[in-house]
A and B are shown apart, each in its own frame.
Chain A
Amino acid sequence: MTMDVTAEVIADVDALVCERGHDIEAIVLGASAGGIGALLTILAPLPATLPIPIVIVLHVAEDKASRLVEVFSHHLAPQVRLAEDKAYVATDTVYFSSAGYHLSIEKGRWFSLSREEPRYFSRPAIDFLFTSAADAYGGALLGVLMTGANEDGAEGLAAIARAGGVTVVQDPDEAEFATMPLAALKLLRPDRILSLQQIRTLIYRLEIPDAG
């Protein structure tokens, strides 16, 4: 039974990669409470070379944020960096946003930081990254919204959908905190609702297209 589900899942993810995978040029991930564990799970298998950059907004307390890069560098093969103001988005990199600043991607595909008011009590806001990335990448974007205890990210994911990008929401039954995925499901019908294992497979297949 489990075997079948897994095979089915891989077939489904492969279908998605086949359908849309060739034109995905960036991946944006959003998570809040429970996010560190979830991100470590989905990013762990990635190799050092990533053709598609990954940009993450994870809500954490300001004093802990500076350690994110350290923690993830320790566990992941690709280079992990803070997205710096005015730097161009580069491949082979997993980016986190700096605490206390909103992170956006401009149309020229460079990062911009800003100190606008917090959104849902958080700065960075997932909505701002997702919405700006949708403007910058249009249909060539995959957005994934995961566990979290507030409603940030739902509008951003809807913007990605409107721009023709691929949208994935973590299965709320499985998410450590379901509020964030549920808020997204209230606002849109994503392309897929997936478990962490499935999200992990999806990202892996996108990053390593010829993996068996």
Chain B
Amino acid sequence: MPKNEATLDIELPLLMEAIYRKYSYDFRNYSLASQKRRVIHALRQMECPSVSELQARILREPETFLQLLQYLTIPTTEMFRDPDYFLSLREKVVPLLRTYPSLKIWIAGCSTGEELYAMAILLKEEGLLSRSIIYATDINPAVLEKARKGIFPLNRMRAYSANYQAAGGKNAFSDYFTAAYDAAIFDRSLCENVTFADHSLATDSVFSETHLISCRNVMIYFNHELQDRVLELFHESLCHRGFLGLGSKENLEFSRWGSFFEAVDKPWRVYRKK
């Protein structure tokens, strides 16, 4: 053991252990640097003097835990974020997806739903939405609730519309939502075949026989061990020659499971099960 370990470095793993044992959320294998920042930020926001005191509170007050969960998970997202990723799906993956009579698509770590709606729009324009079942999963029930509603700030639509066009969009982006005051309410029909589920990549098992898994900017928060677990899970979930899409700064190079996938579009992180 290192001597004189900083108090915070003792407290943090204890907090994660407490969360796991009490609430079954497993944050024990996340990257520590950002986790530490998130907890320090939460302490300030929740006016808690120390991690130990926060631990005592979350063990006794489930609502305090739910509050902490909002700080531990990082919900940052956009519609058609990295348009080239979606363009790549359109051009390189969709032609192969067309060959299946029915499709299962998994958006893992979907946050507030922006990525899901982007994917649904893409599938609709390619004539695949009606034969697709989409699983949209996240560990944070609060973001899933927002995803279900499909209502986003109207002031983001200009930027999203530009992304949509750059991603090869075929219509006017405004066709997909109704503006009401400062909100953009997305077309319900986009979600007809979507199953929203509270699902953790750290502890839960797989959806079977998926054709495409899009898991973007989720594994950057995991350490190597948890990344390995998730990639094994995805490998098991994907059908023969199924597709996997990652965030634009993620990669498979530093995982044992990397060699089980081949790149379809390396710069935009689109891979395929070997």
Task: Give A residues with C-beta under 8 Å from B.
Answer: 84-88, 98, 100-102, 104-108, 110, 112-117, 128, 131-132, 135
Contacts and interface: CB of A to CB of B under 8 A. Distances in A.
A114 B32 contact: no
Interface in B91-150: none
Given A105-B33, A112-B34, 14 more contacts: A84-B253, A85-B220, A85-B249, A85-B254, A86-B253, A86-B254, A112-B221, A114-B221, A115-B74, A115-B220, A117-B76, A128-B33, A132-B33, A135-B9
Interface in B240-262: 249-251, 253-255
> In this complex, which of B32, B227, B255 has the most chain A Cβ atoms within 10 angstroms of its Cβ?
B32
B102 to A, nearest CB: 34
Given A104-B33, A114-B74, A135-B33, A86 B251 contact: yes
Given A85-B220, A86-B224, A106-B223, A114 B250 contact: no
Nearest to A82: B249
B223 A98 contact: no
Given A112-B220, A114-B220, A115-B217, A87 B32 contact: no
- The 9 A-B residue pairs with the shortest CB-CB distance, nearest first, are A104-B33, A132-B33, A112-B31, A86-B254, A114-B34, A115-B76, A113-B220, A85-B220, A113-B249
> In this complex, which of B9, B223, B224, B249 has the most chain A Cβ atoms within 10 angstroms of its Cβ?
B249
B21 interface: no
A104 B250 contact: no
A94 to B, nearest CB: 19
A116 B254 contact: no
B38 interface: yes
Contacts of A107: 32
A17 to B, nearest CB: 26
B34 A104 contact: yes
Interface string B12-38: 000000000000000000011110111
Contact of A84 (B9, B33, B221, B251): B251
A98 B31 contact: no
B35 to A, nearest CB: 10
A85 B34 contact: no
A102 B34 contact: yes
A102 B227 CA distance: 19
Interface string B200-232: 000000000000000001001101100100000
A59 to B, nearest CB: 17
Nearest to A162: B6
B82 to A, nearest CB: 10
Nearest to B31: A112
A162 to B, nearest CB: 9
A177 to B, nearest CB: 26
Contacts of A115: 74, 76, 217, 220
A203 B37 CA distance: 30
A110 to B, nearest CB: 8
Interface in B31-53: 31-34, 36-38
B266 to A, nearest CB: 13
B249 A98 contact: yes
A86 B227 contact: yes
Contacts of A135: 9, 32-33, 36
A98 B248 CA distance: 10
B2 to A, nearest CB: 9
A90 B93 CA distance: 35
Nearest to B2: A138
A96 to B, nearest CB: 13
A116 B251 contact: no
B37 A128 contact: yes
Nearest to A86: B254
A116 B224 contact: no
A130 to B, nearest CB: 11
28 contacts: A84-B249, A85-B249, A85-B250, A85-B251, A86-B227, A86-B251, A86-B253, A86-B255, A88-B254, A98-B249, A100-B249, A101-B220, A104-B31, A105-B33, A106-B31, A106-B223, A110-B224, A110-B254, A112-B33, A112-B34, A112-B221, A113-B249, A114-B33, A114-B220, A115-B74, A115-B76, A116-B74, A132-B33
